[in-house]
Amino acid sequence: MKDRLFILLQYMIPQHLISRLVGFLAESRLPLIKDPLIKVFAKQFKVNMQEAEREQLADYISFNDFFTRALKADARQIDYHHDHLACPVDGAISQIGDIKDGKVFQAKGQDFDVTTLLGGNSELAAPFTDGQFTTIYLSPKDYHRIHMPCDGKLTSMVHVPGQLFSVNQATAEGVPGLFARNERVVAMFDTEFGPMAMVLVGAMIVASIETPWAGLVCPTGRQVTQWQYTEQQDIALRKGEEMGRFKLGSTVIMCLPKSTCQWNPELQPGVTTRMGQMLAKRD
């Protein structure tokens, strides 16, 4: 009953307005606002500041600066084996497996369409119709930068406007097509493993999504917006390099073609992940 009420409330509240207000507070540099927010958050979620580049809470100019904090260079070990994919984020596996007839498994009794997930472009989605996927949930305590699982060259980016439901387990089980309904940014890469889609899914009170090549991704309007990247622009990222970040956390979905890899058998739904660990090996 509690979960049903939580989901019903999300249908009723102004999701974007609330997220913008929270985003305004999270960007505030006023000590009266940002200092209590940071201190309460760090204590409540037991944030490990010893692994952060800046260990002192007072060194952060805003809550978002703290939330998207960088880690020390040796805080994560990247699996650089050329036949392995590295995990792109700290988080927990929500789902992992195969895409079947264009459907991505969300939770018991729920799935969503991969073409819809990628913005409605069937040509863009074609390589993944019977492909592979993993969905990784980032909780508030996690490190919120997203890194490349392998070397890749950016070919396109899509911003898909949408709703901002929470992305926790209760909502995943109760909101049909959740990840294909929420606002999201899709980054398409050419890699030695084949085409790869990295989908950064927004959620309730996620103030924004950023990428290194575009900065803050926030097109106006309600239409899907797509950018193409040419050979001349040459946006190439190496395995382990940052490819995006959430200002307040959410979910990453990674899509690959059929028979690309064998997922790490230890990574089952509910298992926590560390950025850089072995996610999969070449099939």
Contact, 269 vs 95, CB < 8 A?
yes
Beta bridge partners of 187: 157, 198
* Residue in 147, 159, 166, 208 annotated catalytic: 147
Concatenated DSSP letters for 197-220? EEEEE--TT--EEEETTTEE----
In terms of DSSP bridges, do strands 91-98 and 132-137 run parallel, antiparallel, or are they unpaired?
antiparallel
What is the Cα–Cα distance from 133 to 148, expressed in whole angstroms? 15
Does 147 qualify as catalytic in the annotation? yes
Place of tokens 């001349």: 232
* Residue in 62, 84, 90, 159 annotated catalytic: 90
Does 250 qualify as catalytic in the annotation? yes
What is the Cα–Cα distance from 112 to 110, expressed in whole angstroms? 7
Buried b / exposed e along 169-207 (16+ C-beta atoms within 10 A)? eebbebbeebbbbbbbbbbbbebebbbbbbbbbbbbbbb
Non-local CB neighbours of 71 within 8 Å, separated by 6+ positions: 51, 52, 53, 143
What is the Cα–Cα distance from 156 to 186, expressed in whole angstroms? 8
Q: How far apart are the first and last CA of the chain?
A: 43
Does 84 qualify as catalytic in the annotation? no
For CA atoms 127, 218, 279, 136, the dihedral sign is negative
Active site residues: 90, 147, 250
